[in-house]
Amino acid sequence: MIYLDNNASTKVDPEVRVALDRAADLFGNPSSIHAEGRKARRAIEEAREEVALLVGARAEEIFFTSGGTESNACAILGTAPDPPRKIVRTGAEHASVAEAFRRLVQQGDAEGVVDPEPSGALDSGKVAAALAGGARLVSVMLANNEYGGVYPVSPIAALARAAGAVCHTDAVQAAGRISVDVRELGVDLLSLSAHKMHGPKGVGALFVRRGVALRPHTPGGGQERRMRGGTENTVGIVGMGAAARLARARLAADAAAVMRLRDRLERAVLQQTPDAHVVGGGAARLPNTSAILFEGVSGDALAIRLDLEGVAVSVGSACSSGSPAPSAALLAMGMSRLQARRVVRLSLSRWTTEAEVDEAAGKIAAAVKAMREATAPAVA
């Protein structure tokens, strides 16, 4: 299988797998004071340090969760004040952010939504306009999961600070692929997930800037300094720490190498396939992500056909897979529903090879050609 769906999930790095195997022996409860408990606690705190280093944070500002969705919920729902006020997000946010905002709207908050431009870029001036008149929260993803667009979070965080609003960014797709530094970004809250950077599933983290008050997401014991009750996932947390350490060490080299492969893939597909267009190709993007619109071809049908050909791609967000609705992010960019249904996402990783890219391009071109011919009207 040629795996080009790394924005959905990544292969666990072999070094992370070793860390996971070793952590399986840390059976003690991290809250216990005996030796076995202290071993588990020490491993968790070492992992916390590694995650903090990846994003330029202090260790005490990192809280472990079950993944990006929970981190987003913890950040957004944890800010809810009394009385309700205005909240602002982009129209391209992950479903976990959009759904958390929807809950706040049901509780009385007024929502402002800023859509990205058709180019894929996000206009920070439009975010400033949405913040005008006062807001308490703005959430802008650092990198879009569907077409890879990188948004100007730093100036938006400055605008939020001036408006007295808390700024959250979903950095799940960005971490490990581009530089992420919470001090440079100026954000108050930042979400991460291990399985997007060659770590295990079921573990993530939330950065909470020191001094920012959040309501606890999960009541219970005193774990994660009372932010999230429940016995910590020691094995998963250790795996995330190892993944963060490796991502930090390899970031520059991996980003450059993957971008070359991504560009090679796009050139090959476009050269072999007429009426195909890269979505958001004129704006800043993640180095590993390419979303391509194939005119006259259903993205769902193409993804299924490619799977049978041994190429794994996706249509929209994996978390919305199976939904009959087209991608909200692509619609927010101004695409019609029909256009949005014709987009396929290709996302690479450090494990993708030139040979795989070339073979995948050929299979994509052949599949698109065959599908178009099958639906072309017969000539009398």
CA atoms 31, 32, 33, 34: torsion sign: negative
Q: Tell me which residue has tokens 């001094």.
A: 211
Tokens of 67: 């993944």
| 207 in Cβ contact with 61 (< 8 Å) | yes
Annotated catalytic residue 319:
yes
| 302 in Cβ contact with 344 (< 8 Å) | yes
Residue type, 170: D
Cα(63)–Cα(214) distance, rounded to whole angstroms? Answer: 12
First CA to last CA distance, the chain: 41
| 80 in Cβ contact with 201 (< 8 Å) | no
| 142 in Cβ contact with 169 (< 8 Å) | yes
Cα(163)–Cα(158) distance, rounded to whole angstroms? Answer: 9
| 76 in Cβ contact with 170 (< 8 Å) | no
Q: Which of 249, 253, 319, 370 is catalytic?
A: 319
Closest CA to 172 of 161, 180, 184: 180
| 240 in Cβ contact with 203 (< 8 Å) | yes
Cα-based angle 180, 330, 285 (whole degrees, multiple of 5)? 30
Cα(229)–Cα(54) distance, rounded to whole angstroms? Answer: 25
Cα(226)–Cα(231) distance, rounded to whole angstroms? Answer: 12
Question: How distant is the alpha carbon of residue 360 from its chain centre?
Answer: 24
Cα(355)–Cα(32) distance, rounded to whole angstroms? Answer: 51
Cα(89)–Cα(240) distance, rounded to whole angstroms? Answer: 28
Tell me the catalytic residues: 319
